[in-house]
Structure 1
C-alpha cells in the first residue's frame, strides 16, 4: 500500500524517540539507540576525533562546549549559564530599544565562543578572549548589563562612576586619589557639580579629579602618615605640593598649562568643598585646617600665546572652502560632515551646538531676514538666535530636504538636522561632536599642503616665502576663532561681538582675537616705516625699529585719534578729547597716519563728499550754518593727496614686501580699539570666503 494509505490505518501509532542529543547546545533528537548524538553531531564528533582536534577522553567537555547545528537563522542559548542567558536577553532588548541592529550571525558566533570560555557572566569576558568580529557586540552587551540597576545614589560609593547613570558618556575614575577623606570629598563635589555642567562633562570633571590626584600623590610621598591624618595637614603641605608641581613641570611631566590648571583647580574647588559644608562636624572634611589651601599668588602666570588666538589665515580658509565638496564624499555621514563644517565656518558656533541643531532650526525675523535657532549648551541657554546670510540659510534648507526624504514618517519636531546613520531608524539622534572631529581630522590630513606667505629673515633681510601651513592648527574650534576674528577685522565692536559669540563676559570675547605684544610690536615696526605727515611726506622712511616711547605714544593715539596718530601733548594727555582744531586732523602738524589707516581715510573722503552734496542740496538752513558745516575744498584735497601718497608708497614695493605690509596691517588693525570722536565711524564689509557661492 502507499504511504498515505498506511497512515490512515487505525492501529498505526508512532514509536518513542531515542531522546535528545546529549550536546548541551543542541535541541535535536538522537538518531539511534547506539549513539548519544543527533546525526549531525555524531558526524562532527567522528571527524573531530579523526582529525585529532579532540581526544576521546575529552568527550564529556566536548558535549558541553560544542556549537549547535546552525539552521533557519536560529541562535541557540542552550548550554550557557542561566545568568549569561539572562544577560544576553536583556542586552539584546536594550540594544534594540536604542535602535541598534544586531546580526544573528554575530550573535551566534559570540554565544558559541561563550560556551567555550565557560565564564559565569558577560562582564568577565576580556576583549582578547573573543575574535575581532564579535568584540563590539560583546562589549556593548557587557556595558549594558554592567549598567543595569545602577542609580546616581548607588554609584556614589564606587571608585569608578559610569557616566550613563548621570546622563553623560564616559567614566569617572577616583582610584588615583589615595587618601580616603580626600577621595570621598572629591566624590561628593563631583556628585554636586555633574548636573551643573554641559558639553564634554566627564572629561572636564576628570581633569579636575586628576588635579586632586596630584595633590594626593604629593601628600603620600612627602608626609610620614601619607596624608591620612587630616588634622595634621598645614600650609607647609600645600607649599610642598606647589614645589612638586614645579619639579614635574621642569622634568617635562606636565606642561605649563597643566601646571596652571592644576593649581587653579585645587584652589577653586577646595574652596567650593568648604562652601558646601564638608568641613562641618560629621562631614568628610571635618578637622581640615584652614591654612591647608592655596593662594592666588601660588598660581603661575598663564603661558603667553605665540599667536593671536587660534584663527586660521584667510588663504587657508579659502582653500578649505574650495575643497569642502570632498568632505561630502567620505562615505557614511559624509554629507552631514560637510554641512556641519560649512555651518561651523559660517556661524562660528561651537561644534556641539551645530551637531545638536534641530530640523526646524531656521526661522525668519519680522523683517524677513534668516536667523539660526540653537542651544548654548555650555552656558545652559536655550533658544538662542543668530542672524545668518541667505547662503547659509540655503545650506540648511537643502539639508532639511535630505533629512525629510530619509525619514518621511518622523514628525519634523522630532528630527535632527544632522542625524547619525548608526542606530537611528527614526532620525532622532544627531551625529556627535567627537565623531565629527575625528572625520574632520582625517579629511584635513588627506588634503594637499596649504601654502601661505610666511615672512622670514634670510641673511638679515626680511623676505616672504610660500610655506606649508601646520595642519594640526586646523580643527573644529578654530573655525569659531576665525569667525570672531573676521568680524573683528571688519570693524565690528567688541560689545557686538560678545553678543554674536554668545559670551557672558567681554574678556572671553577679547581672548579670541587678542594680539600679543611681541607680534603687535613687529607689525607696528613694519607699518610705521610707511608713516606720513599731513602733507604726505615720509616720517620714518629710514626707521628700522621704534623706541618704546613711540610705541606707547602710538597706542594712545590709536585710542584717541581717528585716521592716524596725534602727537600734540595736550590732546594726548586728555586721551584725544582736547583737540584745538576740533579734529581737523589732516590740517594739523601733529597728525601722523600710515598704511593701516588707508581704509579709514578712503571712507572719510567718501563721507566728506557725501556731506558736501547733502549740504548743497539743503534749502532750510542759513548760509552761515551751511558754510560752517560744509567740508572745505582744502580738506578734501588734502585727504585725496594723502590717500594717493600712501597708495604710491605701496606701489613702490615688490610683491613680497607688499604681502608683508598686508599681514602687518591686519595685525595692527586687529589690536586697534575703535573710537568715536564726533567723526564718521567706518565699518569694513565682512569678507566672503566663498564669493562664488549663491544663496
Structure 2
C-alpha cells in the first residue's frame, strides 16, 4: 500500500452523504387555482372580523391594507415576511416594466428585484395613494404596511406575519368565507368541502412557482424568480410522477400529426415513448435520432421539412415561439440584404411550422370542452417533464480539485 498514490485515499469530503436542508418550499402545499378563485371572490370580507381603530385609521382602512397584502402575496409568490416588510417606495420601473423591491430575510439578501404585472403594481400604487391620505404614523412612515399596533400602545414598525397570518388571514378563511369547495365530488355528485387548514399564506408562494412550472418557465429562470439558493428546490416543481406522465402520454399521443398535418397518432403510450424522441419543436421518429436521444439530426432540426416529424399539442407553445423567431430572423435577413435562398428557406420553414400549428389548433377546437381541457392539462405535464429532463444546471455538477 505504500506505493498507492495519495489521491486514492479516502477523503471524507467525497464519502459523506450531505445533509438535506429542511425546506418550506414543499409543492404539496400550493393553494389550488380553484380555491384562489373562491378567495378572490370573497376578498371584500378580508379584515372585517375586527372593529379595531387606531391613530385616525378606521377598521375599513385596516381592512383595505390587509386586502392589498393578500393581493401582493397571491401575485408575487414572496414569503409572508417579505411582503409585510415592504418599504413604502417598493416599486420602480425598469425599461418601463414594474419591478418590486423587497428583502429576502431568510437568506439575508436585501434589495432583491422581482418583475410584477401591471395589475399588481396598480394595486400597490392605489394603496400608496391611500397612505398619503390617511393620518401619518411617525414610527411607521417608511413601511408600505404600517403596524396596526395594540390597544393603548403606540404603533411602531410594520405589520408582522403573526398579525396577518395567524389572526386576520385565519379569521377570514376559517370564519368569514361561507363556502370553500374542492374540485372533487362526493358519491352524490356534490362538490366536497375543501380542507381549510391547508390554506396558508405560504401556499401562495408554492402556487406562484407551480404556475410558472406549468407554463414552461425554464428552471434557471424560475430559480431567480423564487430567489432560491439551491436549484434542487426549484426543480421540485418540475417533477412529474410516472403515473401522471403515462396518463398524459395516453391523452396526447393519439393527436400527433406529420409534417403535412395528416393525423399520425401513436397507438399507445409505449409506442409514443419508444418510437419517438422529444426535439425542440415536436417528436422525432427517425431511428438514428431516437437512438441518440434526439442529438443526431442530419438536417439540423429543420423539423417541419422532415417526414419523421411528429408534433402533438404539447409542443404547440414551442411551435408558436419558433414561428415568431423565424419571422424575426427573416426581417433581420432582409435588413442585411441576405441572399434570396436564405430568405426563401426562412419563408418555407414559417409556412411549414404554421401548417402544423394550425392543424393542432383545429384538432383542439374540434374536441369537446372537457376533452380539450384534459389534453391541455396533459400537455402541461409533458412540458414540465421535458423541461426537467432536458435541463442540466452547471451548479449541480460536482467536480474535484486536483489535490
Whether the TM-score (by the shorter chain) exceeds 0.5 is yes
1:666 counterpart residue number = 380
Give the superposition deviation at 1:627: 0.6
Cα distance in 1, alignment partners of residues 358 and 190 from structure 2: 29
Cα distance in 2, alignment partners of residues 587 and 532 from structure 1: 13
2:161 to 412, 417, 433: 433
Cα distance in 1, alignment partners of residues 319 and 190 from structure 2: 31
2:273 counterpart residue number = 551
Give the superposition deviation at 1:674: 8.2
Q: 1:253-332 residue pairs with structure 2 within 5 A?
A: 309-331=28-50, 332=52
Cα distance in 2, alignment partners of residues 430 and 532 from structure 1: 57
1:589 has 2:307 as partner: yes
1:650 counterpart residue number = 364
Give 3-state SS (helix, strand or coil) of 1:364's partner.
Answer: strand
Cα distance in 1, alignment partners of residues 247 and 191 from structure 2: 20
CA distance 1:455–1:523, shift in 2 (3 Å): farther
| Structure 2 residue runs without a partner (length 5+) | 1-15, 53-61, 391-403
1:381 counterpart residue number = 109
1:352 to 60, 75, 81: 81
CA distance 1:572–1:474, shift in 2 (3 Å): same
| Equivalent residue pairs, number | 358
Q: 1:439-478 residue pairs with structure 2 within 5 A?
A: 439-445=168-174, 446-449=176-179, 469-478=194-203
1:226 counterpart residue number = none
Give the superposition deviation at 1:491: 3.5
| Structure 1 residue runs without a partner (length 5+) | 1-294, 457-463, 677-695
Q: 1:507-522 residue pairs with structure 2 within 5 A?
A: 507-522=232-247
Indicate conservation of the 8 Å contact 1:605/1:636, yes or no.
yes
Cα distance in 2, alignment partners of residues 550 and 465 from structure 1: 37
Indicate conservation of the 8 Å contact 1:455/1:660, yes or no.
no
1:417 has 2:148 as partner: no
2:127 to 389, 399, 423: 399
Cα distance in 1, alignment partners of residues 185 and 298 from structure 2: 42
CA distance 1:633–1:440, shift in 2 (3 Å): same
Give 3-state SS (helix, strand or coil) of 1:371's partner.
Answer: strand
Cα distance in 2, alignment partners of residues 343 and 372 from structure 1: 10
2:283 counterpart residue number = 565
Cα distance in 2, alignment partners of residues 674 and 614 from structure 1: 33
Give the superposition deviation at 1:593: 1.4
Give the superposition deviation at 1:505: 0.7
Indicate conservation of the 8 Å contact 2:147/2:160, yes or no.
no
CA distance 1:406–1:571, shift in 2 (3 Å): same
Indicate conservation of the 8 Å contact 2:311/2:356, yes or no.
no
Indicate conservation of the 8 Å contact 1:416/1:427, yes or no.
no
Cα distance in 2, alignment partners of residues 579 and 650 from structure 1: 29
Cα distance in 2, alignment partners of residues 363 and 508 from structure 1: 28
Cα distance in 2, alignment partners of residues 675 and 398 from structure 1: 43
Cα distance in 2, alignment partners of residues 369 and 390 from structure 1: 8
1:490 counterpart residue number = 215
1:524 has 2:249 as partner: yes
1:598 counterpart residue number = 316
Give 3-state SS (helix, strand or coil) of 1:384's partner.
Answer: strand
Normalised by the length of structure 1, the TM-score is 0.45
CA distance 1:648–1:389, shift in 2 (3 Å): closer
CA distance 1:503–1:424, shift in 2 (3 Å): farther
Give the superposition deviation at 1:412: 5.9
String of CA shifts for 1:508-550, please: whole Å, max 9, x gaps.
1122443222222222221223222223333336x4x522x74
Give the superposition deviation at 1:364: 2.1
1:334 has 2:51 as partner: no
String of CA shifts for 1:289-347, please: whole Å, max 9, x gaps.
xxxxxx969x99x9xxxx96443444433333333222143334433321211111121
Cα distance in 1, alignment partners of residues 320 and 239 from structure 2: 26
Normalised by the length of structure 2, the TM-score is 0.74
- CA RMSD across the alignment: 3.7
CA distance 1:465–1:562, shift in 2 (3 Å): farther
2:100 counterpart residue number = 372
User: Which structure: larger Rg?
Assistant: 1
Give the superposition deviation at 1:401: 4.2
1:105 counterpart residue number = none
1:620 counterpart residue number = 337
